[in-house]
Amino acid sequence: MRDWISFWDSDHSIYVNARHFDVHYRTIADMIVRHVPSPDAVVLDFGCGEALHADRVAAACQRLILVDAATKVRTGLAARFSGNPTIEIRAPAELADLADRSIDLVVMHSVAQYLTSAEFSALLVLFRRLLRPGGLLLIGDVIPPQVSAFADAIALLNYGAANGFLLAAIRGLLRTAVSDYTKLRSRIGVTLYTEAEMLQRLEAAGFTATRAKANVGPNPARMTFLARSG
């Protein structure tokens, strides 16, 4: 396993069962819907993963652009949403074709930790170009330095207990302990940000940013940021 893109393009077991898979993506989709500014909005979900419930977002906006670097993920998205004219699938390189100031909402959830500092900076420049004046960039699931893999495990167990897959979550954690995910996290690591560091990065890129009161997703120890373009 060479890198994080290779991992997400593989048959991984991050989602412990079908219930976890469904609940996770329903949670993210409903979060995105809450931030769609109008039915005429154009929404871009960068690093969207399998986006199982993207049709819920598509129903709330005019156009939904799903972007993922993993070829296998994009193929699955194209098959799943082939009958939905509101949804389009793109690779990251294809975003260069989008017009300046053409997006109302950009979501990047649980992605920042898998990017290098330089990659993250380049994306902020891209998002700043694409967002309309006053448009919103939502960056979710940012990991602060003090949050450990153990804290992530506890969050998963709590999420499983609340959503009916606790036993599967326990089994999933045991699988993850010897998985490619753990090996990659040990070998190449993940990128961590303090609240101050993330706000500084966003403001340096031309955004007016705040930390949201609560993180999106199952881990309350992680952070979500809301940034407005000028």
CATH number, domain containing residue 46: 3.40.50.150
Task: Give the global pTM.
Answer: 0.92
Q: How many domains does the structure of the chain reveal?
A: 1
Q: Which token pair is 158?
A: 């709590």
How would you class 83 by CB atoms within 10 Å of its CB: exposed for 0-12, middle for 13-18, buried for 19 or more?
Answer: exposed
pLDDT of the residue at 1: 39
Domain region containing 67 = 4-229
Q: Which of 114, 137, 119 is nearest to 184 (CA)?
A: 114
Q: What is the pLDDT of residues 30-79, one digit of tens each?
A: 999 999 999 999 999 999 999 999 999 999 999 999 999 999 999 999 99
pLDDT of the residue at 2: 56
